[in-house]
Amino acid sequence: MPKYNLVADVGATNARFALTQVDLPDLQNIMVLPCADYPSLEAAVSAYLASTKAAGLISKACIAIAGTVHLPQFSLANNHWHVNKEKVNETLGIHALWVNDFTAQAWAMSKITTKDLLLVKQGQAVSQGNRLVMGPGTGIGVAGLIAHDSGWLPVMGEGGHVGFAPTNKLQLQVLEYMWREYEHVSTERLLSGSGMMDLYRAVAHIKSMEPSLSHPADILQQAQLVSPDELAYQTLCIFCEMLGNAVANEALAFGAVGGVYLTGGILPRMQKFLLSSGFIQSFTNKGRTSAYLQQIPIYLCIAEQPGLQGAVIALVNESRRHNVTA
């Protein structure tokens, strides 16, 4: 019987799985399972293995997940799963490689081709300069790519949980509104799928408008109509301006002269809106460092499964590391 490698990209909303043949990178049997449909990660893994008839045939596995993967057990910030790594390993029948989901996104951006990128902002990238990988999905992820020997090394943190920094009076009013409910208002509290409804309600309160939408997908859809819902449109405009500033902050922190790569589930669904928004102006509006930021190009990843591709690359790099140290 053939052996397979399994890769998974687990977020708060969906768990994506795929198989690859040993030593071949092409993804097979891609499946997206809604997290809400399963009581645990091991249940979702078991369902995937059963559907592909790959149980007992897994040689290696990499699980990229939006959690604190250095711990043996952890809870996800934006869904009900409590992950016990040993139980998942038992379901797989092997010890998996566990990486943060944005580590996988960063790995994917180290190999990304131009056909899977949309130019958001022109610039002059330094060929071996640090890169920033950042993007909103259910939460918001942040990672760096640092040139290392002849390749790249992902640097992972929790940049989505830094404090939100307003840049004008309206954004300050949003922050003050959010302080009513949260002691700490992070970037993720506003610039994510889970935070978009809070931003929508904050804008409605500040502008004395009546909110009528109840899901982030509705805001995205209604804001982009030919005759858009006015509150949804204003919310998405503010979202883009806030995001530009947040991305600039992280680009400065990482020294991302090699470029910024935007990923995540939200931005590919609003490409034209992003390009015509105040995102770029907000990104470069940084006083003494504006000229520095103006030189940095920004790309939007439009690849279908970058998280799974990144997990494949993580497995390859882990195997190489073990071969070198063996």
- Does some domain include residue 306? no
Amino acid sitting at position 147: A
On the question of pLDDT at 174 being above 50, the answer is yes
**Looking at the structure, do residues 136 and 268 belong to the same domain, yes or no?**
yes
**Looking at the structure, do residues 27 and 155 belong to the same domain, yes or no?**
no
Q: What are phi and psi for residue 154, nearest 5 degrees?
A: -70, 140
Mean per-residue pLDDT, 212-222: 96
- Does some domain include residue 181? yes
**Looking at the structure, do residues 55 and 167 belong to the same domain, yes or no?**
no
**Looking at the structure, do residues 127 and 231 belong to the same domain, yes or no?**
yes
- pLDDT at site 259: 97
**Looking at the structure, do residues 173 and 295 belong to the same domain, yes or no?**
yes
- Does some domain include residue 205? yes
Total domains in the fold of the chain: 2
Mean per-residue pLDDT, 205-209: 97
> Residue 31: CB partners within 8 Å, gap ≥ 6?
16, 17, 18, 48, 51, 52
**Looking at the structure, do residues 58 and 188 belong to the same domain, yes or no?**
no
85-130 tens-digit pLDDT: 999 999 999 999 999 999 999 999 999 999 999 999 999 999 899 9
On the question of pLDDT at 148 being above 90, the answer is no
Gap between the Cα atoms of 72 and 229, Å rounded: 46
Gap between the Cα atoms of 75 and 60, Å rounded: 24
| Stretch (H or E) spanning 223 | helix 216-223
On the question of pLDDT at 66 being above 60, the answer is yes
The torsion region of residue 265 among left (phi > 0), alpha (psi -120 to 50) and beta comes to alpha
* Residue in this structure with the two tokens 């993007």, named with its chain if needed: 135
- pLDDT at site 309: 96
13-46 tens-digit pLDDT: 899 999 999 777 899 999 999 999 999 999 999 9
pTM: 0.92
On the question of pLDDT at 1 being above 80, the answer is no
- Does some domain include residue 315? no
Task: For residue 40, give the CATH number of its domain.
Answer: 3.30.420.40
Domain of residue 35: give its range. 4-100
- Does some domain include residue 52? yes
175-199 tens-digit pLDDT: 999 999 999 999 999 999 989 999 9
**Looking at the structure, do residues 93 and 124 belong to the same domain, yes or no?**
no
**Looking at the structure, do residues 84 and 182 belong to the same domain, yes or no?**
no
- Does some domain include residue 114? no
**Looking at the structure, do residues 90 and 131 belong to the same domain, yes or no?**
no
- pLDDT at site 155: 93
- pLDDT at site 326: 45
Mean pLDDT (the chain, rounded): 94
Gap between the Cα atoms of 148 and 8, Å rounded: 26
Nearest to 66 by CA among 79, 53, 84: 79
3 state DSSP class of 21: strand
Task: For residue 210, give the CATH number of its domain.
Answer: 3.40.367.20
Least confident of 5-9, 52-56, 274-278: 52-56
**Looking at the structure, do residues 91 and 232 belong to the same domain, yes or no?**
no
- Does some domain include residue 308? no
> Residue 74: CB partners within 8 Å, gap ≥ 6?
67, 68, 82, 83
**Looking at the structure, do residues 162 and 296 belong to the same domain, yes or no?**
yes
Instruction: Determine the angle formed by the axes of helices 169-179 and 230-254, rounding to 10 degrees.
Output: 90
Q: What is the largest CA-CA distance in the chain?
A: 65
Query: Residue 52, exposed/middle/buried by CB under 10 A (0-12, 13-18, 19+)?
Result: middle
- Does some domain include residue 41? yes
Helix/strand/coil percentages in the chain, nearest 5: 45, 25, 35
**Looking at the structure, do residues 37 and 182 belong to the same domain, yes or no?**
no
- pLDDT at site 12: 85
